Amino acid sequence: MAKAKSPKVAAKPSEARPADAKPVLLSGGNPQIAKGYGDAPVQAYIAAMPGWKSEVGRRLDQLIMQAVPQVEKAVKWNSPFYGMEGEGWFLGIHCFTGYIKVAFFRGLSLRPVPPGESKSKDTRYLHIHEDDHLDEAQFVSWVKQASQLPGERM
């Protein structure tokens, strides 16, 4: 038997957020951005990243675009995703209180393997803290490698 869908309830006018309101930061400081495809929702996410994370987010986005100019972008589950058309998503970004987590969904296949382990067999993480030096050449290498692997279907 099919489960009944819950009805969609419109927000009351007094509850609706103004169009120019800043996005809500969820626990850990991750911006709450509506699901969307293309560059605009990703740029909204990056702009809403708190403090130093926004500048790093802009740089990560630039490096990804330089490494893979034909990359597809989306925001899903309050996180930017990067992928290849017809191949799925190869990378995701998420804010936590003290760092930015970059997830390479096929990270175990990258050389060298990114340092952060995951509960998922294939996923590997790169954690970027405020005072870390990002090895941009290594990051770009990982992005290029990851873009050539089958992505995740999400």
d(CA 152, CA 76): 13
- Over residues 22-34, the pLDDT tens digits come to 778 887 888 999 9
- Over residues 112-135, the pLDDT tens digits come to 999 999 999 999 999 999 999 999
Instruction: Enumerate the domain spans of the chain.
Output: 29-146
The pLDDT > 70 percentage for the chain reads 86
CA angle 57, 59, 64 (to 5 degrees): 95
**pTM of the shown model:** 0.84
Structural domain 29-146, CATH architecture: Alpha-Beta Complex (3.90)
d(CA 102, CA 60): 9
